[in-house]
Amino acid sequence: MPRSEPVRIRIPALSVNTPLVALHLDATGTLPPPASDDRNLAGWYADSTTPGETGTAVIVAHLDTRQGTAAFYRLSTLTPGQTALVERGDGSTAVFSIDDVQNYPKSAFPTAHVYQPTGRPELRLITCAWPYDRAHGGYQDNTVVYAHLTGTTPPPASAVGSVTSALPVTASP
């Protein structure tokens, strides 16, 4: 699929239907999660592949916030074969099938493996994971979902060639 910024992610098995915001690496080279003041918000790594393009696209969201459970609260319960649908700015949808779900300690997060370029369109969904340890900075693990593109819906038909006029239409004699 050509590059098109994602605008929404839906994960039917989890009843997730959330808008996406663009995220960029922070000064430490880490991809931060979206703002925690909106529990129903996810973010995509805007300096990389967009979902549906060849390569690895990344979407992150909170497990929970001070207000309660958040968009990716049950991410770790996904199983292979379930789907994630990413709606894109051009009106198309990229459909991804889940391949694997893994938990990694944050202290040993396999960054190169998770973000590595691929020869096909792939998606990574990332959130925090248990255990939670306030004394050591909060959640100690991350859940990573690995998925690959298995379908698409095209953008709506273009209105190229059609002309809309503000003038009244009259019939020829």
Taking only the tens place, the pLDDT of each residue in 128-155 is 888 777 887 777 899 999 999 999 998 8
Written out in words, the top-level CATH class of the domain with range 6-153 is mainly beta
Domain ranges of the chain: 6-153
Q: According to the model, what pLDDT value does residue 173 have?
A: 34
- Where helices occur in the chain by DSSP H, the ranges are 111-115
Q: Give 18's contacts (C-beta < 8 A, 6+ positions apart).
A: 8, 9, 10, 40, 41, 42, 61, 71
The tokens of 97 are what?
């099938």
Q: Are 57 and 49 in contact (CB under 8 A)?
A: yes
Taking only the tens place, the pLDDT of each residue in 99-128 is 999 999 988 999 999 999 999 999 999 998
Taking only the tens place, the pLDDT of each residue in 12-44 is 999 999 999 999 999 998 888 898 889 999 999
